[in-house]
Amino acid sequence: MKRERVFFITVADKPGVLFKITNIFRRRNFNIESVTVGKSLAKDESQIVITINADDEEADSFARMVKKLIDVYEVVEAPKDSCYTQELLLAKLEGSKEELREIAKNYGAELMEDGSLILKYSGESSNVESLVKQLSRFKIIHISRTGITAVVKEDGKDILRFGR
Amino acid sequence: MASYLSGAQALVKALERENVEVIFGIPGGATLTFYDALKDSSIRHVLARHEQSAAHMADGYARASGKVGVCTSTSGPGATNLLTGIATAYLDSSPVIAITGQVARDYIGKDAFQEIDTVGIFTPVVKYAFQPLSASEIPFDVKAAFYIASTGRQGPVLIDLPKDVQAEKAEIEFPERVEIKGYRPYVRPDPEVIREAAKLIIQSQKPVILVGGGAVKSEVGPKVVELAEMLMIPIASTLMGKGAIPENHFLAVGPIGMHGTYHANTLIMESDLVIGIGVRFSDRTTMDTKEFSKDRMILHFDIDPTEARKNIVNEFPVIGDLNESMSMLVSEIRKMMPYTKDSPWYKRVKELKEYYEDKIFGENVLSPFIIKKIREILHEDDIVTTEVGQAQAWAELFYKALRPRTFITSGGLGTMGFGFPAAIGAKVAKFDKTVVDIAGDGSFLMTSNSLATSVKEGIPVVVVILDNAVLGMIAQWQRLVYNNRYIASSLGETPNFPALAKAYGAEGVRVNGLEDFEKYFKEAVKSDVTYVIDVPISPEENVFPFVPAGKSLKEMIV
């Protein structure tokens, strides 16, 4: 059954690693819904969080193919509903400050002023989507979304783990 | 102990420390400094005439010897020419190191002369790609490259070395061993899983063993034979598995697949269990995958975890070192069943094998007899390489490989032009053995300029061209699958192959029929220059059995 999957990939922090990983998904014509990369706790390691839409077989096969890369130390794959996920939105806007304050309050977002207005929000992707819709009546100078980062829930199900 | 060396000297010294005895390649602007350092080394250099052939030579050397083969080219076009050969090695899990020159560091990524993104292009077809950006990194990278290429599931590794790094001098230290985080090539099989596998084998009424390229490389054949003899299980192979066990063994039934033997394809489709050992169940082996796995269990022994359930979704995978897996399996089965069994299944195997083993399908065919004659004359440790197409399929069907590493072919990528340079590489590895390239006229022309290498470097091989003046496999498909609508498959009677061979200083002869062939082949085997035997055959000759793409192994055309 196709569903959204989150891959947590611990890798060597050096050039070319992301290319090798995304190339595995590209070769089989999978669109990467989101990718985020950050340093991990261990020295010289990064964590890449990738979300794709795949069935069980595909997810299992991708997890093993990605782990096979020598620069990949560990792969954990979990269905998205087994994860606690967050995404960060930054939106630079022009328009009524009062209205924006109201929206920010409703969403628990922060409004910053820097000549123009900058809205900062983090939440689940569906909330980010609905917030972006609300912003359409303002003049949007620039919107940036980070894509998903996540941790596996304590009671998360169907978790695959390879390596380490 | 550190020494003050240039990057090029460090590279040469690191190669010497890996006991490299030969490098196949062509120099260029971005490798001049490397070649200059190579001049002071005892490592032999074999000059190819095209980089693709250099890679095939290194690959042939690796497959014949079990050692790592090394090839080299310059940057840009040298590297892109090398690519086909490296992809060929990758698809057949052959340990080859490719050393490519690169433009100086400051010019990388700026479309400099003969600059291409070599690491980017090679990454999908190598186990790993190194690009040392300082001379002091070279010894580690070389040591790691050899370690990665030769362990676990073997494969090619790239070392892309910028020109100025070759020239840069530094204090160089050579590591005794390398630790590569994230690379654990050795996988110990799980005893619990082995016990399960043993149970499946014991419960099976109609098992077939299927050996592949992994069984050749790990030289696990004797253990496979032990298992087979214990339970009287027939042993089939993939194209890549030929020679893993002696094909004249009483339980051997030859290869399965698009051009498998009639009895092997029939037995596998009548079986209730396939025991795959070092195989990857490629589409050319299984044909229709669903039919292949429909009425039987598939047990799959392999070292590479990504092969588990890759092509056969409902298989039972046993991941681990093949030698260890087979030892554990054999002792497990002996515990369960300490005697051989004489079953109706074995009677069926015997019956089919006796009827079909020497059967040649089709009328007025010469090629199968030529191949059988080659087998008759060669010793069991002589080596055969093949080109790709009809000649390859005839060799698959009619040449019985008796030892591992004596049947060398491009199975995965199916690279035309592979056989001749691979034969040259194999001959360098096993100079006292006869090496024969079983070729078609189409494939041979793709790398025939390697004649220059074989003559000038004194590496004599025998090339047998099954010359039908067409791209034979294409013509066969156009005849049988595309209703005789021939297009672009006729090559005509050109070139004159004996004259071509002689132009390079090799021997060449055109023979007429089997007897004539035998006479000249015996002469060719003794020749101390490369000998090309042109064997005219009918353009209408088909390779049978033939399973058209998309059909099941049951649906053989004969």
φ/ψ bin of B57: left (φ > 0), alpha (ψ from -120 to 50), beta (otherwise): alpha
* DSSP H or E segment with residue B418: none
Cβ contacts (< 8 Å) between A68 and chain B: which residues? Answer: 304-306
Q: Active site residue: B9, B24, B34, B51, which one?
A: B51
CA end-to-end distance (rounded Å), chain B: 66
Cα of B533 vs its chain's centroid, Å: 23
Residue B263 in 3-state DSSP? helix
Rounded to whole angstroms, how far apart are CA atoms B418 and B438? 11
B461 and B530 in contact (C-beta within 8 Å)?
yes
Total residue count of chain B as it appears in this document: 558
* DSSP H or E segment with residue A58: helix A56-68
Rounded to whole angstroms, how far apart are CA atoms B478 and B481? 6
DSSP of B173-227, one letter per residue? E--S----TT-----PPPHHHHHHHHHHHHH-SSEEEEE-HHHHHTT-HHHHHHH
Cα of A2 vs its chain's centroid, Å: 18
Q: Which amino acid is at B209?
A: I
CA end-to-end distance (rounded Å), chain A: 28
Q: Distance (Å) from the C-alpha of residue B178 to the closest C-alpha of chain A?
A: 14
Mean pLDDT of A130-146: 94
Q: Distance (Å) from the C-alpha of residue A61 to the closest C-alpha of chain B?
A: 7
Give the orientation angle of helix B322-336 with respect to helix B221-231, to 10 degrees: 20
Q: Does the distance separating the beta carbons of B181 and A73 come in below 8 Å?
A: yes
Give the contacts of B344 (CB within 8 A, at least 6 positions apart): none
Rounded to whole angstroms, how far apart are CA atoms B85 and B418? 8
Q: Distance (Å) from the C-alpha of residue A68 to the closest C-alpha of chain B?
A: 7
Q: Does the distance separating the beta carbons of B119 and A68 come in below 8 Å?
A: no
Binned at pLDDT 50, 70 and 90, residue A163 comes out as: confident
Q: Which amino acid is at A22?
A: T
Q: Distance (Å) from the C-alpha of residue B482 to the closest C-alpha of chain A?
A: 30
B507 and B462 in contact (C-beta within 8 Å)?
no
Q: Active site residue: B240, B326, B416, B473, which one?
A: B473
Closest CA to A71 of A36, A38, A44, A33: A44
Sign of the torsion formed by the C-alpha atoms of B293, B295, B299 and B305: positive
Sign of the torsion formed by the C-alpha atoms of A126, A127, A133 and A135: negative
Q: Distance (Å) from the C-alpha of residue B305 to the closest C-alpha of chain A?
A: 7
| Closest Cβ opposite residue B128 in set A57, A70, A162 | A70
User: What is the reported pLDDT for B339?
Assistant: 65
Summarize pLDDT for B3-21 with one digit per residue, the tens. Answer: 899 999 999 999 999 999 9
Active-site residue, B166 included: no
Cα of B118 vs its chain's centroid, Å: 24
Q: Does the distance separating the beta carbons of B310 and A61 come in below 8 Å?
A: yes
Give the contacts of A109 (CB within 8 A, at least 6 positions apart): A89, A103, A119, A120, A121, A131
User: What is the reported pLDDT for A68?
Assistant: 95
User: What is the reported pLDDT for A164?
Assistant: 77
Closest CA to A83 of A152, A147, A33: A152
Q: What ipTM was estimated for this complex?
A: 0.91
Give the contacts of A154 (CB within 8 A, at least 6 positions apart): none
Greatest Cα pair distance in chain B:
72
E strands of chain A, at which residues?
A: 3-12, 34-39, 45-54, 72-79, 83-94, 110-114, 116-123, 139-152, 160-162
Q: Which amino acid is at B517?
A: F
User: What is the reported pLDDT for B442?
Assistant: 97
Give the contacts of B465 (CB within 8 A, at least 6 positions apart): B439, B440, B441, B444, B497, B532, B533, B534, B535
Rounded to whole angstroms, how far apart are CA atoms B464 and A154? 66
* DSSP H or E segment with residue B500: helix B497-503
Active-site residue, B131 included: no
Rounded to whole angstroms, how far apart are CA atoms B148 and B120? 19
Cβ contacts (< 8 Å) between B306 and chain A: which residues? Answer: 61, 64-65, 68
Q: Does the distance separating the beta carbons of A72 and B182 come in below 8 Å?
A: yes
Active-site residue, B181 included: no
Surface of B (136-175) touching A: CB under 8 A = 148
B224 and B204 in contact (C-beta within 8 Å)?
no
Surface of B (405-434) touching A: CB under 8 A = none
Residue A51 in 3-state DSSP? strand
Closest CA to B37 of B56, B13, B57: B13
Other CB atoms closer than 10 Å to residue B219's CB: what's the count?
15
B103 and B55 in contact (C-beta within 8 Å)?
no
Q: Which amino acid is at B26?
A: I
Residue B482 in 3-state DSSP? coil
Cβ contacts (< 8 Å) between B129 and chain A: which residues? Answer: 16
B85 and B447 in contact (C-beta within 8 Å)?
no
Which residue has 């003969």 as its token pair? B114
* DSSP H or E segment with residue A127: helix A125-134
Q: Does the distance separating the beta carbons of B128 and A64 come in below 8 Å?
A: no
Q: In the structure encoding, which two tokens stand for residue B434, read together? A: 């006869």
B438 and B420 in contact (C-beta within 8 Å)?
no
Cα of B261 vs its chain's centroid, Å: 20
Cβ contacts (< 8 Å) between A69 and chain B: which residues? Answer: 182
pLDDT under 50: residue ranges of chain B: none
User: What is the reported pLDDT for B260?
Assistant: 96
Q: Does the distance separating the beta carbons of A163 and B124 come in below 8 Å?
A: no
Cβ contacts (< 8 Å) between B122 and chain A: which residues? Answer: none
Summarize pLDDT for A49-88 with one digit per residue, the tens. Answer: 999 999 999 999 999 999 999 999 999 999 999 999 999 9
Q: In the structure encoding, which two tokens stand for residue A9, read together? A: 């990939």
User: What is the reported pLDDT for B97?
Assistant: 98
Rounded to whole angstroms, how far apart are CA atoms B150 and B85? 17
Q: Does the distance separating the beta carbons of A64 and B308 come in below 8 Å?
A: yes
Summarize pLDDT for A114-135 with one digit per residue, the tens. Answer: 788 999 999 999 999 999 999 9
B273 and B206 in contact (C-beta within 8 Å)?
yes
Nearest CA in chain B to A44: B181
B393 and B239 in contact (C-beta within 8 Å)?
no
B170 and B164 in contact (C-beta within 8 Å)?
no
B550 touching chain A per CB within 8 A: no
Rounded to whole angstroms, how far apart are CA atoms B415 and B214? 20
